[in-house]
Amino acid sequence: MNIGTELIFKGGSLKKINSFVMSVISNKGGVGKTSIAICCGLYFANKQNKKTIIIELDSSPGDFGSLFDISNDNSLDIAIKFPDRFKNYVKNIQKNLDVLKGFSNPINAESIKETEISALFDFISDFYDVIIIDTQTVLNGTIIDALKISDSIILVSESTIESLSRISELMTILNNKFLIDKKKFQLIINKKKFFDLFKIKDISKILDFPVKGFISFDKRFNKNLIIFNRNSFTRSKFNIEVYNMIDNFILSGVINEFAGKA
């Protein structure tokens, strides 16, 4: 049972991160990254009863400010500067679940050093069993650093051949250029419609990477439900399918059993 992640600080010393880290990425916008990241946070907080934080690494701009009513004064910009005080900058959403809003602009996100993001994760991992990372479509250095310390990376595609082929290119770059282990990647398809199944069977023949999960298009789902009606967000078909998908990942061993702190 592996759980921690090895964090390589500049200078080569190794530091252990105790939390289970799961990132959600895609090189396509609007594919469902944020919605899926929120459901994953709810899953670990509610179903697994783990202390969980969802961190937004999206400054394009991100959604957490409006979804969770958080101002720019409480965001990664300040948490990075004072990592030992990060608890003051997170927002508690419900039992076991906190969120941290992303950088207020892309320039701040670009100027962060690997050592700074490492230091912040080091503090955060003392408080949470699970860290979920929501990302933006365009990768930057901070996201790459976060992917390096992730135990599991959910790659989200739509069910078109173009989307799947772009996502498999992204995976190849992350693996070849940034040495991120292919075993960490879980390729999933969101917004699947009934007839897509036949198309996906054809597509998967030409991909050398298996599709590990599907989430259906849910015409009644909207991520803004988290603002107005959290119960209907949690009860949505979309959220239930994400819960089932993570259950399957854990049961089938495709993601390592996550660490828990007593």
Ligand X SMILES: Nc1ncnc2c1ncn2[C@@H]1O[C@H](COP(=O)(O)OP(=O)(O)OP(=O)(O)O)[C@@H](O)[C@H]1O
Question: Does position 222 bind ligand X by CB under 6 A?
Answer: yes
* DSSP single-letter state for residue 7: E
Question: Does position 52 bind Mg ion by CB under 5 A?
Answer: no
Q: Kindly tell me the burial class for residue 6, based on how many C-beta atoms sit within 10 Å of its own C-beta (0-12, 13-18, 19 or more).
A: exposed
CA distance readout (Å), 37 to 22, 84, 136, 235? 9, 25, 12, 16
Question: Does position 238 bind ligand X by CB under 6 A?
Answer: yes
Q: Measured from the CB of residue 220, what is the shortest distance to ligand X in angstroms?
A: 8
6 versus 29: smaller Cβ distance to ligand X: 29
Question: Does position 83 bind ligand X by CB under 6 A?
Answer: no
Report CA 65 to chain centroid distance, whole Å. 17
d(CA 85, CA 79): 7
Residue of 5, 34, 75, 150 that binds ligand X (CB under 6 A): 34
Candidate segments 87-95, 197-205, 216-224, 244-252, binder of ligand X by CB under 6 A: 216-224
Candidate segments 26-34, 71-79, 94-102, 119-127, binder of ligand X by CB under 6 A: 26-34
Q: Among residues 220, 255, 260, 254, which one has the least CA distance to residue 240?
A: 220
Candidate segments 25-33, 93-101, 161-169, 250-258, binder of ligand X by CB under 6 A: 25-33
Contact string (CB under 6 A) for ligand X, positions 179-208, x = contact = -----------xx-----------------
d(CA 151, CA 218): 28
Question: Does position 190 bind Mg ion by CB under 5 A?
Answer: no
Question: Does position 29 bind ligand X by CB under 6 A?
Answer: yes
Q: Which long-range contacts (CB under 8 A, 24 or more apart) does 79-84 make?
A: 79/120, 80/112, 80/116, 80/117, 80/120, 83/116, 83/119, 83/120, 83/122, 83/123, 83/124, 84/123
Q: Measured from the CB of residue 176, what is the shortest distance to Mg ion in angstroms?
A: 26
Candidate segments 30-38, 100-108, 166-174, 202-210, binder of ligand X by CB under 6 A: 30-38
Strands 14-17 and 5-8: antiparallel
d(CA 29, CA 40): 19
Q: How many chain residues interact with ligand X (CB under 6 A)?
A: 20
89 versus 238: smaller Cβ distance to ligand X: 238
**Residue 164: both structure tokens together:** 């799947």
Q: Measured from the CB of residue 143, what is the shortest distance to ligand X in angstroms?
A: 12
d(CA 71, CA 91): 10
Residue of 15, 61, 207, 218 that binds ligand X (CB under 6 A): 218
List the interface residues with Mg ion, window 5-34 (CB under 5 A): 33-34
- Residues of this chain that interact with ligand X (CB under 6 A) are 26, 29-35, 58, 136-137, 190-191, 215, 217-218, 221-223, 238
Binding site for Mg ion (CB under 5 A): 33-34
